[in-house]
Amino acid sequence: PARPFNHVYLPFVWRGWYDFGAGALGDMGQYSFDTIFRVLKLTAPSAVEASSTKLFSETFPWASMIRWDFPARGDMPPVKLTWYDGGLKPPRPDELEDGVEMGKENEGLLFIGDHGAILSGFHGENPRLIPESRMRTFVPPPKTLPRSIGHYREWIEAAKATKGSPAPAANFEFEGPIAETLLLGNVALRTGEKLRWDSANLKVTSAAAAQPLIGPGYRGDWGALVTGQ
């Protein structure tokens, strides 16, 4: 967008403006959603809704809660995924012992399944069953997910790659649906409506007011540069 310079945008808070960034969700969500999408084999959601503190005309709210519905995938059942920010947190799980913190950091992941719950760090690191007694009897399953050689090394290998070389773990095909999910959450946040999502056609089927926020267009010659037309 064409806007006059203002020192308040830099160096950090530009991401809090609708015109420039995607708020806390777009800034941090990809770090945690990578793990969630990988282990649960998620693609694009079928629906999303959001609630927040006071909405502003140009900037993201102070705190928000966003929930997506994901359809079944093969033999895996539907999934509900909820994001909390601005100091909001999920309800304390019944499985967690009295006096035990949900996490030492002010962030993390909580997986709730049919047979128990798992807490981990924000990137999915150090997962643990709760209560602690379940970890003492837990037998890890065989490793089936590929392990990364590290994102620095993957970046170097990608720079050296030729056609047919292995793709990095965070490749466009994998990360695209994550970006789609995060941005759709922000659309729900701004409209205040539950959105039904047609991913194949990139269209909201339930709220006409949301569609202008999906691909709102480019200024001047930027459209030709981005689309190649």
Give the residue among 10, 25, 162 at the shortest CA–CA distance from 88. 25
Question: Residues 82, 64: contact at Cβ < 8 Å?
Answer: no
Q: Residue 154: is its pLDDT beyond 80?
A: yes
Q: Residue 114: is its pLDDT beyond 80?
A: yes
Contacts for 23 with CB less than 8 Å, ≥ 6 apart: 15, 16, 60, 64, 186, 189
What are the structure tokens assigned to 164, written together?
């047919």
Angle between helices 172-191 and 23-40 (to 10 degrees): 130
pTM for this entry: 0.92
Distance set, CA 92 to CA 85, 111, 128 (Å): 16, 12, 15
Say how far apart CA 126 and CA 116 lie, in whole Å. 17
Taking only the tens place, the pLDDT of each residue in 56-71 is 999 999 999 999 999 9
Is residue 229 very low, low, confident or very high in pLDDT (cuts 50, 70, 90)? low
Alpha helices, DSSP H, located in the chain: 23-40, 132-136, 151-160, 172-191, 222-227
CATH topology of domain 8-137+144-211: Dihydrodipicolinate Reductase; domain 2 (3.30.360)
Q: What is the pLDDT of residue 34?
A: 95
